[in-house]
């Protein structure tokens, strides 16, 4: 069951939204409607589902309607049409009290410019969400402290927001959202105001936290790199409409249209592609069965100077070089184990290409891709370079 379900959600800013709705049905664009009526289409018939525990990224250029969409999810903005269900409950049907309860217990928000209250201490800021629920002072202190600890800000509780750096302030924003222990986190460009290094730290930290918290996170960004780094799925918005939804790979590899393609064009592919995209089926010898003769034969066939050795259940054991093998044959050595070399560089399927590039740079043999110790593929230097050069030979069917 989807945690959040959105259907044909539409928001028009202006005096006569009904009229604009009709025009949208008649397939007029945001631009045309603005020119004709002066009304702005914020979000245009967006539909999607977010699964429990998923990081769902909404991405788009400035003005594409991301903030409006995320505010429709907790009804900070009332929709013109369409529905939002949270845990199968229709947000539009809720009265003020029910809505408050959802905001207090189920969904918390993290803001782009942090949204901290400058006259409150850090601790009091983090407590805010609990305070409005009239939770006892002692208990909310405790929860707020835990939350601050979680984001690594213990010791700052008596400071004021303006005494902290931007990165720290955003951690406070995150701690405040986490203090309520919500099921859903709404993050509107939460990291956009931070400088690139701190931003990357925060992304890592969020991913770290997420491995233990398992929240459902709606994350807004206008930065594709950020989207690709943290998103389980990404929705791309343009002029209020969602133009594509998919995993990072799907978006990168099969852009739905020119707009997405343009967006994707200048992504640094090395950050997105991982070992599994560029690995090849490995040539191997079975160390339990084969001898130097077979090894040499296979290397000759493939035109390679070394070959990976596995055991009968395909566990990677090491590699054999052609030189060693012919030497062994001369000396009548029949057990490959005696000439096995085992300083093999290995990575797993998810290793980003960046890292592979560094490894492959100073190793004479291909890089082995393993999964639980079993050899699943190899990466040769040529494939890395080809992929970096945006060559279409990249193999996605793994």
Partner 1 sequence: MFNSVLLAFIPTIPLAEWTASFTAWLTSTFSFLFNPIKEHFGNFMSFTADTLGVIPPIVIMIAVAVAAFFITGRRFGLAAFAFVGLWLIQNQGLWDHLMYTFTLVLLSSILSVIIGVPFGILMSKSKTAEAIIAPILDFMQTMPAFVYLIPAVAFFGIGMVPGVFASLIFATPPTVRLTNLGIRQVPKELVEAAEAFGSTGAQKLFKVELPMAKSTIMAGINQTVMLALSMVVIASMIGAPGLGREVLSALQRAQVGPGFVAGVGIVILAIIIDRFTQSANAQRGKA
Contact flag: residue 143 with partner 1 (CB under 8 A): no
Nearest to 70 by CA among 235, 313, 273: 235
| 56-64, 97-105, 177-185, 200-208 -> range binding ligand ATP (CB under 6 A) | 56-64
| Tokens representing residue 91 in the block | 């947000």
Smaller CB distance to ligand ATP: residue 65 or 231?
65
Q: Is 284 in the site for Mg ion (CB under 5 A)?
A: no
Per-residue contact track with ligand ATP, 205 to 234, x per CB under 6 A? -----------------x------------
From candidates 147, 170, 180, 244, binder to partner 1 by CB under 8 A: 180
Nearer to ligand ATP, 10 or 276 (CB): 10
**Which residues pair with residue 238 across a beta bridge?**
241
Check binding of 284 to ligand ATP (CB under 6 A): no
CA–CA gap between residue 69 and residue 241 (Å, rounded): 10
**Dihedral angle computed from the Cα positions of residues 109, 115, 120 and 126, in that order, rounded to the nearest 10 degrees:** 20
Of residues 20, 24, 33, 42, which one binds ligand ATP by CB under 6 A?
42
The helix (H) or strand (E) run that includes residue 272 is: helix 269-272
Given a contact cutoff of 8 angstroms between Cβ atoms, the answer to whether 70 and 186 are in contact is yes
Q: What angle do CA 324, 330, 334 make, to 5 degrees?
A: 75
285 vs 93: CA distance, rounded Å: 65
* Count of CB atoms situated within 10 Å of the CB of 331: 11
Whole-angstrom CA distances from 349 to 175, 211, 276 are 33, 19, 5
- Show the binding pattern over residues 57-96: x = contacts Mg ion (CB under 5 A), - = does not: ----------x-----------------------------
Q: How many residues make contact with ligand ATP (CB under 6 A)?
A: 12
Shortest CB 67 distance to Mg ion, Å: 3
Q: Looking at beta carbons, which residue is closest to Mg ion?
A: 67
- Edge-to-edge order in the sheet of strand 367-371: 346-347, 367-371, 374-379
Does position 79 interact with ligand ATP (CB under 6 A)? The reply is no
Q: Is 40 one of the binding residues for ligand ATP (CB under 6 A)?
A: yes
* Binds partner 1 by CB under 8 A, chosen from 10, 44, 68, 108: 108
User: Residue 32 has which token pair?
Assistant: 């045309």
| Contact status: 68 vs ligand ATP (CB under 6 A) | yes
Q: Which residues bind partner 1 (CB under 8 A)?
A: 71, 74, 76, 100-105, 107-109, 111-119, 128-129, 131-133, 176, 180, 186
Q: Which residues bind ligand ATP (CB under 6 A)?
A: 13, 40, 42, 60, 62-68, 222
């Amino acid at each position: 069951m989807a945690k959040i379900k959105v259907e044909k959600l539409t928001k028009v800013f202006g005096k006569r939204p009904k009229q604009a709705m009709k025009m949208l049905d008649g397939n007029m664009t945001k631009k045309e409607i603005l020119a004709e009526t002066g009304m702005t289409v914020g979000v245009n018939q967006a539909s999607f589902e977010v699964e429990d525990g998923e990081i769902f990224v909404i991405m788009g250029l400035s003005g594409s309607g991301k903030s409006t969409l995320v505010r429709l999810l907790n009804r900070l903005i009332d929709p013109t049409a369409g529905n939002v269900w949270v845990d199968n409950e229709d947000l539009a049907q809720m009265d003020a009290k029910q809505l408050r309860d959802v905001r207090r217990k189920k969904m918390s928000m993290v803001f782009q410019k942090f949204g901290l209250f400058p006259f409150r201490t850090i601790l009091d800021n983090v407590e805010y969400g609990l305070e409005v629920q009239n939770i006892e002072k002692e208990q909310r202190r405790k929860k707020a402290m835990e939350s601050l600890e979680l984001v690594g800000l213990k010791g700052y509780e008596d400071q004021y927001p303006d005494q902290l750096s931007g990165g720290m302030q955003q951690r406070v924003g995150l701690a405040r959202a986490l203090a309520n222990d919500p099921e859903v986190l709404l993050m509107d460009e939460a990291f956009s105001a931070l400088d690139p290094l701190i931003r990357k730290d925060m992304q890592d930290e969020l991913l770290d936290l997420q491995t233990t918290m398992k929240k459902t996170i709606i994350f807004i960004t206008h930065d594709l790199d950020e989207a690709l780094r943290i998103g389980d799925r990404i929705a791309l918005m343009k002029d209020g409409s969602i133009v594509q939804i998919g995993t990072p790979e799907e978006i990168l590899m099969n852009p739905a249209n020119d707009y997405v393609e343009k967006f994707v064009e200048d992504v640094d592919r090395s950050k997105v592609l991982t070992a599994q995209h560029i690995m090849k089926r490995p040539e191997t010898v079975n160390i339990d069965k084969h001898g130097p003769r077979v090894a040499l034969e296979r290397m000759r066939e493939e035109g390679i100077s070394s070959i990976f050795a596995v055991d009968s259940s395909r566990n990677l054991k090491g590699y054999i070089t052609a030189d060693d093998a012919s030497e062994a044959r001369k000396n009548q050595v029949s057990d490959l184990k005696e000439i096995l070399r085992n300083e093999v560089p290995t990575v797993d399927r998810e290793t980003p290409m960046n890292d592979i590039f560094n490894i492959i740079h100073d190793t004479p043999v291909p890089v082995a891709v393993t999964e639980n110790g079993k050899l699943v593929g190899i990466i040769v230097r040529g494939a890395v370079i080809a992929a970096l050069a945006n060559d279409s030979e990249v193999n996605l069917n793994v």
